[in-house]
Every structure is written in C-alpha cells, then in structure tokens.
Chains A and B, each alone.
Chain A
C-alpha cells in the first residue's frame, strides 16, 4: 500500500531539516489533504502522515500528534468515519474512512484551493521575479501520486 514508507523515513534522516511551513497554512491545508488521502483508500494516522511526506516530497512536515485532533474534528463533523480494527501487528488500530459528506466537502475544498492556487500563479507570473530557491529533494518529484 505504501511503497515509499521506508524510503521516506530514510531520506528524512539523510536530508536533515525540512522546509518550515506557516502554522496557519498547515492548519488550513490539513482538511483537504487528509480528506484527499482518505479518498484514495481507508487509512490510519501513521499511514496518513507517511503519505503526506511522500506526496509532498518531505516538504510538508506535520508534528505527528497534531494529525489526531484534525482527524477527530473531521469525525465530529461527519466527514470521516472511524472504526477500530486489529492490525497485522496484533494491535488495535483506528482506521478512518471518508463519508459521502466528506467527499462533498473534499470537492468544495478542492474548488476553493484551486481558486487560491490559480490566483497565486497569476500573481507570481506578473511579478516575474525569479522563484526563491527551495530545498527541493531530488528523490521526490512533486507530481508523483498527487
């Protein structure tokens, strides 16, 4: 399910610090990101985080624990459903599944983010300044899996 898992953990250690993303931006983007990952397949906390790292090429770093209040909020709002299952490891694990209401929410979020994205792209173009250097990693092309 998650081919990049160990590679990802490994690369993080090789690369050191990741890019800092503003707290508000992380908070705002967490809903669509989590919903989108769950739209791919049912998942659980740790795997969701791995997926985030993988898709963002390590540029999005969430503090692990902070994901859970987000998941609980989505659960309260009815965007996701949770169930406990016994994982292969024998431990009980809480899996999350996106609901139809969550699908609707995801579409709505997507529409809004695309509008924001399009606006920003337009502005970056008119400014025509050279893009600032980011610590992009060779190992992680952005388009992969997104």
Chain B
C-alpha cells in the first residue's frame, strides 16, 4: 500500500518537473525525454544507495542544475530555437507530428472547399460583375461555416452546440437572401458589413469549444482574432507580390492575367486565406510571440498623443467641429481602434502585476478618445434633425453608443485599478463579457434594419 502510494507521488513529482521543463522554449520535448531518462536513472541509483524516494527526487533534481541555467545553456547551444520555426512541424513525438499533419490537411482541404463555394454560384449564372450584392451579402456564409466546422472538428463540439451554430448560419443565409433588398441600397451594404460580425460569434463559440462561458476562453478567442487579422494581412501582402510578378512575367509573353486574377485568384485566395491563416494561428500559438500585443504597445502611446494633441488644438483654437454627413463613421472607427488597442493590451497583460506607466498611458488614451467622441457627438446631435435618421446614420450611431458604453465603463474600471481599488480581472471580465453585445447589435442591424427602413 505504502509503496504504491509512493510510486504514484514520485510519478506526480516527475510529471511536475517535466512540465516545468517543457515551458522553456530552448528545451525541446526530445531533450526533455532525454533529461527525464537521466533523472529517473539518478533517482533509481540514489534509492539503491539508501535514500528515501522523496529525498532521491530532490537530490536528483538539484544535481540536474537550476532550470534557468539549464535553459540558458540549451539556448546557447540551440540559439535557433529562440527564433522559433513555424510550419516545420516538430518531429519529436510521432503523435504530435501526425496530429499537426492532419490539421494541415484538413485546413487546406477546407480552404479549397471555400474556394469552390465562392465559385459555385457562377455555375448558376450569378457572376461577380452583375450580382456584386449577392456576393457582398453572402461572402461570410461561404467562409465562416467552414471555419466554424474546422474548430468544431478540432474541439470535438457536442451535438447540441453544433445544432445551434448550424441553425444560426441557416438563419443568416435566409435573412441575407430572402429580404428584397434594393440593389446596392444602404440596408444591403449594412447587411454585408454586419453579417460577418454577427457570425464571428459563432466562430468564437466553436473556437472556445465549451469554454465560451469562461473569461479565459473568450480571451483566447480575442487573441486568436487579432493574430488571425495580422496573418491575413501578411498573406494578402504576399498574395499581392505574387500577383504582381505573375502579371509582369505573363505580360512578357503577351498574356493578360487580369480576368484570371479578378474572377479566380482574388476571390478564391481571399476566402481560402481565412482558413489557412486560422490554421497557422492555431499551429503557431505556442511558437511565436503574439504580434497583436506588440503592435498595441507600440501604437497605444502614439494614438494617445494624437488624441491629446487633437483635443488641445480644439480647445486652443476654439474651432467648432465641422461635421460632414457621414463623419460619424470616422469617429466610430476611432473608437473601434481604441477598443482594439485596449483589448489587445489587456489580452497580453499579466493580471497580477501592479499598475505601471503603460496603464497610465492606456487610461489617457481611453479618456481622450471618450472626450473626442463626446465632442463629435455633441456636434452631430445638434444637426441630427437636419440630417435625419438614415439607415447608415442610425447604424453608425448605434455602434458609437455601444463602443462609448464599453470605453466609459472600461475607463472607470481602469482608473479604479490604477487607484488600487479594483482588480485588473474585472476589466478583463468586462471586455470579454461585452463580446456578445457587438454580435447582438450586428444581428439586430442585419435582421431589423432592412424591413424597418423599407429595404432601401
């Protein structure tokens, strides 16, 4: 009895030690296996020499040397490992290798399926030129169900959740295609813009895979979204370079690729890249430092400086704000950027560390954004009766209110945190709890606005 309990606890201790070791990026899992073999041999030797099991473990770990020193030595020998290599799948354990391969195959197959989907309507005579509205409304429906499916497969979602998600996509498909939109009217454009936002929630639920009701699950999804965006932009840039070369060299032999590019390469590439980028983000999760928080750190002070300068100039010159008809959208975008900056700095922040100078900059950014937006809203409110409530303006106003509420309460929570009266976790919770509200508002715009405004 005693012996078996001891063995179990020794295994536990070794497990724990192994996990500590695995966190060091310079030490790969093959090395961990090698070191573990050493540790076990050492423990066996020490026990044979008369030590108790726990003593033997402690001595063996001590002799192995401190983890920091060890990983420093490994890093010196394998400096390339600090420049983590992506895609080159780690070949250390066969299980992980095949899993990564399967993931890659599934993701690339789904990307091809997405490319086929986007070209499928053309078979029925719906082409990009004459039915741009159809494509604009449905583009998210060509891609996001596949992406959701990918995560449903990866996370092994239960059937009930799957049914709900499927129902959501079907409903979205019905709304986007049954409403009698006026061709290229505002409500159609609004639907095209808001449907992806609403459906992104479905992707999130699949991504979180049962962890959606936890703050950490939603936070992971926020991180994923940011990284996906960055990867997508990088892939798009690469695609641009590829197309440029293609055009140049084919031009040399008198072939114009314009048609091929416009009708095949661009649409297929644009939808396929979403899946490929998602797979890359998943695969590299533990491999490379997240980019979004790095960019956030870089731009938060700059945006804060610009906003403070704007407010200063406005006060100094005493100029009225000249509001164009659709200026609200610009201020929506500003708030969106600020929320993004806030979100991604939250996502990378260590919850336990105490307030620092960067937190102060963050608060300055949020407060100055709020003041800027208040200035704009004031100017708009004065003239809203002249302008009237068009669908675009109503949608923009709604978005503004949603972002304003988010930022106001964030500012309150952040200031409380700075004053030491609140925890950072409450700010994190507030931001992650807020996610469904964006999707809810977007769904509202998609479902209510077209009939409410007569499909104009």
Decide whether A and B assemble into one complex.
yes
Which residues of A are in contact with B by a Cβ distance under 8 Å? Answer: 5-6, 9-10, 13, 44-46, 63-66, 68-69, 72-73, 76, 87, 89, 91-94
Could you tell me if A9 and B45 are in contact, using CB atoms closer than 8 angstroms? Answer: yes
Task: Answer whether residue B3 sits at the interface, using C-beta atoms and an 8 A cutoff.
Answer: no
Closest to B36 in A: A91
Smallest CB-CB A-B distances: 3 pairs: A63-B65, A65-B65, A69-B77
Q: Cα distance A104–B271 when bound, in Å?
A: 58
Task: Answer whether residue B308 sits at the interface, using C-beta atoms and an 8 A cutoff.
Answer: no
Task: Answer whether residue B412 sits at the interface, using C-beta atoms and an 8 A cutoff.
Answer: no
What 0/1 readout, one digit per residue, does chain B (69-105) give for beta carbons within 8 Å of chain A?
1100110111000000000000000000000000000
| A44 surroundings in chain B (CB, below 8 A) | 37
Could you tell me if A68 and B35 are in contact, using CB atoms closer than 8 angstroms? Answer: yes
Q: Cα distance A91–B65 when bound, in Å?
A: 22
| A46 surroundings in chain B (CB, below 8 A) | 37-38, 41-42
B39 vs chain A, min Cβ distance (A): 8
Q: Given A63-B63, A63-B64, A63-B65, does the pair A68, B45 have CB atoms closer than 8 Å? A: no
Task: Answer whether residue B40 sits at the interface, using C-beta atoms and an 8 A cutoff.
Answer: yes
Closest to A82 in B: B34
Could you tell me if A65 and B70 are in contact, using CB atoms closer than 8 angstroms? Answer: yes
Could you tell me if A65 and B37 are in contact, using CB atoms closer than 8 angstroms? Answer: no
| A87 surroundings in chain B (CB, below 8 A) | 37
Could you tell me if B69 and A63 are in contact, using CB atoms closer than 8 angstroms? Answer: yes
Q: Given A69-B77, A72-B78, does the pair A10, B38 have CB atoms closer than 8 Å? A: no
Closest to B73 in A: A69
| A13 surroundings in chain B (CB, below 8 A) | 49, 51
| B70 surroundings in chain A (CB, below 8 A) | 65-66
B93 vs chain A, min Cβ distance (A): 10
Closest to A61 in B: B63
**Chain A contact residues: over half helix, strand or loop, or mixed?**
helix
Q: Cα distance A45–B60 when bound, in Å?
A: 14
Could you tell me if B49 and A45 are in contact, using CB atoms closer than 8 angstroms? Answer: no
B63 vs chain A, min Cβ distance (A): 5
**Chain B contact residues: over half helix, strand or loop, or mixed?**
helix
Kindly identify which residue among A72, A91, A93, A94 contacts B77, using a CB–CB cutoff of 8 Å: A72
Could you tell me if B41 and A65 are in contact, using CB atoms closer than 8 angstroms? Answer: no
- What are 13 sample pairs from A and B whose C-beta atoms fall under 8 A apart? A9-B48, A10-B49, A46-B37, A46-B42, A63-B64, A65-B65, A66-B70, A66-B73, A68-B31, A72-B78, A73-B77, A76-B77, A89-B40
Task: Answer whether residue B46 sits at the interface, using C-beta atoms and an 8 A cutoff.
Answer: yes
Q: Cα distance A44–B38 when bound, in Å?
A: 9
| B64 surroundings in chain A (CB, below 8 A) | 63-65
Q: Cα distance A107–B264 when bound, in Å?
A: 65
Could you tell me if A94 and B48 are in contact, using CB atoms closer than 8 angstroms? Answer: no
Q: Cα distance A104–B77 when bound, in Å?
A: 22
Task: Answer whether residue B167 sits at the interface, using C-beta atoms and an 8 A cutoff.
Answer: no
A24 vs chain B, min Cβ distance (A): 14
Could you tell me if B49 and A92 are in contact, using CB atoms closer than 8 angstroms? Answer: no
Could you tell me if A66 and B49 are in contact, using CB atoms closer than 8 angstroms? Answer: no
Kindly identify which residue among B33, B42, B63, B74 contacts A69, using a CB–CB cutoff of 8 Å: B74
Q: Given A63-B63, A65-B65, A66-B65, does the pair A92, B73 have CB atoms closer than 8 Å? A: no
Kindly identify which residue among B34, B42, B48, B51 contacts A68, using a CB–CB cutoff of 8 Å: B34
Q: Cα distance A87–B37 when bound, in Å?
A: 10
Could you tell me if B42 and A64 are in contact, using CB atoms closer than 8 angstroms? Answer: yes
Could you tell me if B37 and A9 are in contact, using CB atoms closer than 8 angstroms? Answer: no
Q: Cα distance A76–B46 when bound, in Å?
A: 32
Could you tell me if A6 and B45 are in contact, using CB atoms closer than 8 angstroms? Answer: yes
Q: Given A45-B34, A63-B65, A66-B65, does the pair A9, B40 have CB atoms closer than 8 Å? A: no
Closest to B78 in A: A72
Q: Cα distance A93–B63 when bound, in Å?
A: 19
Could you tell me if B65 and A64 are in contact, using CB atoms closer than 8 angstroms? Answer: yes
| B69 surroundings in chain A (CB, below 8 A) | 63, 65-66
| B38 surroundings in chain A (CB, below 8 A) | 45-46, 64, 68
Q: Cα distance A68–B38 when bound, in Å?
A: 10
| A65 surroundings in chain B (CB, below 8 A) | 35, 64-65, 69-70, 73
Q: Cα distance A24–B333 when bound, in Å?
A: 59
Could you tell me if A6 and B48 are in contact, using CB atoms closer than 8 angstroms? Answer: yes
Most buried by B among A10, A45, A65: A65
Q: Cα distance A68–B26 when bound, in Å?
A: 13
| B76 surroundings in chain A (CB, below 8 A) | 69
